[in-house]
Structure 1
Amino acid sequence: MACEILRFNFRNDLKSNGMLPLLPSIRFHSNRQKSGSIYTLVVRSNFERGGLKLNLIVLFGVISMITIIKSCCNFYLFFLSLIQSKIHIVMRVNFYTWLICLLILSFEGAVAQTTNCVPPATLTSSVSGSTTAVLNWTPAAGATYYNVQYRPLSSNPVQWLSMVSQSNTITLANLLCNTTYEWRVQSVCGNVSIGLSAFSNIATFTTGPCTQTCPTPAGLSTSSITANSAQTSWSSVTGAVAYTVRYRSANAPNAAWITLTVQSNSAALNNLLCNTQYEWQVQALCSPAGTVHSASPFSSSVSFNTLACPTLCPAPSNLTATVSASGSVALHWNAVSGAVMYHIQWRPVSSLPGQWQGATSQTNSFTIANLPCNTTFEWQVQALCGTSSNQASVFVSGPQFTTPPCPIQCPTPAGLASANILQQSADLSWTASAGAVAYVVRYRPANSPNSAWQLMTVQTNSASLHNLLCNTQYEWQVQAVCSPSGTINSTSPFSSSGFFTTLACPTTCVPPTALTSNVNSNGTATLAWTAAPGAIAYVVQYRPISSANTLWTSVNTQATTLTISHLHCGVTYEWRVQSICGNHTTAVSVFSPTEHFITPPCPVICPAPTNLVSSAIGMNSAQVSWDAVSGAVFYVVRFRPVTSPTVTHAWRTVTVQTNSANLGNLFCNTMYEWTVQAICGPSNAGTINAGGPFAPVEQFTTLSCPQTNCPAPSGLASANVTSSGADLSWTSTGAYRYHVRYRIANTNLWMNASSATNSVTLSGLHPNMTYEWQVRGICAHSSAFAVMSPWSNADSFTTLMLSPVRPSGQPGGQD
C-alpha cells in the first residue's frame, strides 16, 4: 500500500463563483472491480469567499498484476459537480492516475509553495506615563502583519500576552506601573500555516513609577478628652471624600482595631475605658471603594489617656486556674456585683516581662488555648462596671500556672562516657535511645566555645574521634535521629556536653614572638609575628579589652600574618598567638603574651542631644525631654535604676519621634539615670553609623512609696548545688512575690529570677564558679504603684567542678 499527499489550490474559478469549501470532514468510499479500484471522496462544507488550500489524501493500492495489465486508456478521471453545497469528487484509479494527477496540479498551480519569511529587526520602545508603551520595529520583507507578544520580566515567567498589528508599531495600554516588561515580534507572510517567521530577539522596557493618588492625612491631634470619650481631628486631604479612623487600647497592641468612617476631618470616639491609654490612626478615602488607589496608607499612631475613673468597681476575688492535658487553661473568679464585663491579661513569667496578651469575657470565667508547652504564665483580671461610664476595678493577679511538658518525639541520648583517650584520639559512647536509627556526634575544643562544631554520623551508640589536638580539653554532645531526615520531629535535642582531655603532647612547642599590629583607616587590622621553630600553623585569638569576661575569637592560619575585619570602631583590642607544631596535631604551645591595638574613632553623624530635663515625676512614671536635634528622624531613650555604686542594671530603651518621652513602670522611691541618642538620616535610618553618641546622663528620683511595712528577706540559704544549678531559699516575709538577682562574684552583670514562694531553683550556671545572690519582696502591686522591700544581705555558693577536670597550669586555656 502506498500513500501520496496532494495539495490543490482552488483560486480564480471558485472565487469568481463565490464558492469555496471548508473542510470540516472527509469520507472515503471504496468499490473494488476487476479493472481496478474506485475511490469516492465526499467533501462537505459551507461556502465562503477567499482562498483555501485543499489537502487530498489519495490512497493507491495495487490489487493485482492482472488488474494493471487489463487496464487501458479508457478511464474517467475527474468529475466535479456542485449539488446542495456539496462537492463530490469521484476518482477511478488505473494505470494512468499518476499522469492525470500531475496534469491537475499543473492546471491548478498547486505545486507545493515555499516561502522565506524573516522576523522583524531593530526593536525599540518608548514609555508614556506609568501604564502605556509604544513598540516599534523595522518592517520585514513580505510580511502582511505581525504577532506581538509581551509579559512582565520575572524569574518565574508567566504566559505571553499576544496582540496583532498590520504595521510596524503598536501601543500597549493598561500596563503595571514601575514594572519591566519583555517583548518580541513575529512576521506573518501570506498564508498562516506556511508564512510564519521565527520570533525576533527579546527586547525590554520599564514603565514609569507608580503614583499615589491619595495622600496620607497629617496634623493629627486629640482634644476634649473625658473619662469615656475624646475628639480627634487632622488636616484635610485634597480630593478625599471620606476618612477611616481606627483606634484601640495602647496596652494591648495585638488587639483588633475599632474603626469608623466619617466625611469630615474630625471624629468623636465614645464608649472608651476610663484611665486607659489609647492609640489612633486615620486614612483618607479619595475615590469610591473598590477602585484603584482609593485609599491612602494609615497615618502614624497618636496616643492619648482618658481621665481617671470616677469610682472603682470591686476587684474580682478567689482567682483559680485549671490546666487541661491538651494545654488549654480554664480561668475562674468570683462574679463582681454590677460588673458588665471582665478584662483578662496573661503573659509568660520572665525576668524581663513581655507585653500582656488580653481578652474580654462577659462571664466570670475564660479559657485560653494554643499556649506554648512547658511554660509558666502569670495572669490578672479586672472588672468593668456600669453601662455608661464603664468603670474599671484594679487588676488582681491570679495564681501562676504551667502548661504541660512538650512532647518529645525522639529521646535525647544520656549516659555520655569517654574512654581510651590518647594524644590525638578518644572513644565515645552513650545509652542507646529507643527508636533511634542513627546518631549525630559533635565536638570541639572546650577553650574555644565560639569555634565551629565538628560533626560525624554513626549508626551505633559509640564513636571514635581522631586527629585531635594533644593536651587539649574537648566538649562533645550527641543527638538521636529517630526517622528519615526531613520529617517533623525526626531528631532529638543535642544532649548536655561531655568533656575529656587528650594526653600531654610528646614534644615542646614554643609560642611566636615579636608580635606587631597595623591598623588601617578602614577599620581592619593586620597582625604579624615571628615564626616559631617547628610550627606548621598558628591559632590567633583577639577580643575587646573592655571586659576580662569577654570570650576570645579564634582564627587558624598557616601564615605569620593575619588581617581581621568587622571590628568595632574606637575600641581597644588585645590579641595573642599560639603555635601548632608537628604533624598538624602533635603539639601546641602556650599562648604568647598579649598585645594591643586600637581601631579608628567612630564617625559621628548626629550630634548628641542637649538640655536634658526630667519633669512630671510620680511614684512610677516621669516625663523626660531635650532640645530637638537638626536632621534627627527619631530618638532612642534609655534609662535604668541606680541602686548601688557596685550594681549595674540593664538599660531599658524607648524609641520616640519627638523630643520627649514618657517613662512608665518605674519603682517608687528610686533614683533613675537616663540618656538619649539622636538617629539621623533618610528613610533608611538605623543603619551603621546613623546614630550619634548618647548625651551625658541625667538623674531623677521617683516619689516615695505608700507607707507599707515590707521588710527585706533574711535567712538566705543554698542547697542541692551542682555544676550547673542550685536551690535557693529564704525566710518568708509575707510578700506576695519575690525578686532574686544573682551574678558571678566580682562581676557587675546581675541575672534575675522571680518566685511566688520563698524558694527558687537556678539552672544554666557555669561550673566551678562562685555566685553571690540577693532577694527582695514585693508586698503590694497595682497598675499605679509597686511596694518593694530593700534588697537582702548577699549570700554566696560555689558550683561543682566538671569531671574530668583539666589539670591546673595546662597551656591553651581561656583567660
Structure 2
Amino acid sequence: MLSTSISLGWECNEQNALFELQYKSVSSSTWTTITDIPSDGNGQGGNVSLTELLPNTTYQWRVKTICEVESPSAYIEGTNFTTVCPSPWALSNYSLLSTSISLGWECNEQNALFELQYKSVSSSTWTTITNIPSDGNGQGGNVSLTELLPNTTYKWRVKTICELGSPSAYVEGTNFTTVCPSPWALSNYNLLSTSISLGWECNEQNTLFELQYKSVSSSTWTTITNIQSDNNGYGGNVNLIGLSPNTTYQWRVKTICELGSPSAYIGGTNFTTICPMPWALSNYSVASTSISLGWECNEQNALFEVQYKPTNSSTWTTITNIQSDGNGYGGNVTLTELSPNTPYQWRVRTTCSSGSPSAYIGGTNFTTLCAAPTGLGTGNTTLTTTNLIWLSVSSGISYEIRYRVQGSNTAWTTQTVNAPTPTPNSTIIHPISGLTAQTSYEWQVRTLCSPLNTAFSSLNNFTTNCPLPTNLTTTDITSTSAKLNWNVGMSGVTSELQWRLTGSNTWTTISNIATTSYQLTGLTVGASYQWQVRVNCSQSVNSSYATPVSFSTICPLPNNLAISNLTATSAQLNWSGGYAGGTYSLQWRLQSNGSWTTVNNLTTSLYTLSGLNANTVYEWQVKLFCTPTVSTAYAGPSTFSTPTTCTNMFSIKDGAWNDPSIWSCNRLPTNADIVQIKHIVTVPAGYVAQAQQITYAQGPTVKFLQAAQLNFLH
C-alpha cells in the first residue's frame, strides 16, 4: 500500500475462473468496477493493482467469482484500506569515518523524495537535508554526511515526501559515533632475507599511519610515523629493511586522522624473514650435450646453487656462486658436457648474503636431444671422388649418409658410418668414390640414435671436377722476395703458377710445380704484384685459376726504438731495421710542440742528441728510405725524459730503486749520477738500475731480487 496505489489479492476453489472487483472511497456511493480479471499463475485465485487512488483516503472493496457456467458468486467484502505515504525502512549506516558517514534506507514508494535530519546527541538542534532523490532503483535513498565532529555520537532520522498527500512520519536510524577508522586487510608480501613489504587498507582517505614492529623475542617496538596513504588514498604500505635473517617479527599499524584521536593499533600476521626460494623455473635451448636453465627470485642480487644429475644416478653435480642476471632478480646457467639422449633432474636454491640458504626447488626434468650432424661440407673433390665432411654429435654414435645426382629422382645411394669415437664437434671425413666426372651431386647425413633416429640434414651439394687450389697465401715478404703458398687437396697432380706486376698485361708462367709453394726472388722493392695458380689433374684436365692474390714488397719499417746514455742534456737514439744502400730520416722535438727538427741521410741506426733541457719530455721518430722514392712511414713517435740536474743524489729512506720518492732528487738515478746509499734500497725483480757509480754509508746496502741488474757508466 502506497500513497496512491495498492495491490489486492484473494483465493478461490474454482480453477481458472474470472473475477469482478469493485472499489470506492467510504464517502462515495459509486463503485468502480474491474471485470474479467483472470486467475493468477496457479489458477486458483487472483490479484489486481489499483492505481491513481486519492492519497490519505479510506477505501472499501469487494470481489466475486464469474464461473464459466451457472451464475456468479456473491460479492465478498475485503478489509478497508487507507492510502498513506509509506515510511522508509531498513535504515543503515556505512563508511563511518572520523568526520563523515553514509546513510541509506529502503522505501516502497517509487521515485519519492526524502527528508533527513541529524544532530549530535548533546545538541537540541537538528540539521535538515531536504529533497533527497531516490536512488538508482527508485525505491529508497542514501546520503553522505560530511564535516561532522570527530569522536562524536549522532542521532538521525528520515521521512518520505510523497508527490501527493502528507509525508510519512520520521523513522529513527541507529545512533552512530564518528571514529578514526582502523586499518584493515593487513598483508605482507615480498618477504626476503632481511626485508619485507607490509600493506593495509583504510576507509579514511589521504590520512597518515603509524607502524610498529619488533622481533617476537624483543620488548621494544621500532616505530615509523607519518606514513603517507598510497596512490588511491585508501590505505598504505611500507618496506622494512635491515631486518635480521631467519627471525620472527610482530607488527601493528594504526590510523592517524587529521582531526580527533587516532585509531587503535591493529596487529598484522607475524612473519619470519627467510632466504626466498627461486620460482618460475624453466629450461630452454636444449641440445644434445647442453641446456640453459633459468629462474626468477625476489631476493635482489643473490647468488644461487644449481644441482643436476641423470635421473638414474644418485650423485648430484653442483654449480655454486651463480650470479644474478642483468636485472638482479633471478639467474640462469648453461649446462654443458651432458650425455646426449639422456633424461636429467635439476634443482636450484638461493644463497642469500646473510642467514641460511633457501630450500632446493626442483625444475622440470629434461632429456638431451640426439642432435643431427652439423657443419656439412665436402673436400678434396676430384673427377670421381670426394670426402663428405660433418661435425660429430658425440662419441659412439653412428651415422647414415645418402647421395645421388642433383635434381634427379633416382634412388639414393646409402652408406652407414659405424660409430666413430671422436669427441663432440670433431670433424668426420667419409670418402666416397665411383662418381661420374663433371657431375653435380646432392647428399645428406643423419644420426642413428636409439630409440629414434634424427631426421636427415638439409641437402648439401658438390660437383666432381679437377679441384680448385685453396688457401692462397703470401708469406716471408721482403724487399725483393716473397713465398707463394696454396693447397691442391689431392695427390699426384702438379700446379701452374702465374705472376706479374700489378697493372701489367703480361703474366710470367711457371709450369709443372710438384710442390704447393714457390719462392719468387729478384723483385723490386716497394712494388705491387699479383699471382694466381691452377691444378693440372692430367694433360687435358685443369682446374680454373684461383682468384688472384696481391702483395707488395716492403721497405722494412725501423723498429726497436730505444734510448741509451741518457743525461740531463743529451741522449743517444737507437733503432733496428735497414736496407742495403738505404738511409734514415730522423725527427725530434719537445713533446706536443708542433715543429719537428729533421735530420736526413743518416747511414747508421743511432744518433746522439745534445744541448737538451734537463727535466724535459722529448719525442722522436725515424723512417727508412730504401730508395730515394720508396720509404717507410715514420716509426714512432717514441718519448723520453731528460733527468733533473742534481749534483747530490742519495737515498732518503728505505724502498725500491724504481720509486722516485726515496731519492733526494725526487727522480730515478741515471748513468750520469754518483749515487750515495744511506738506506736499504731494493732493486726489483727483472729491473735494470743505472748509475755512474755508487758509494755506501756505514750499514745501508743494495738488495737485488731475481734477475735484477745495476749497470754502471764505464
Q: Do they superpose with TM above 0.5?
A: no
TM-score by length of 2: 0.26
TM-score by length of 1: 0.23
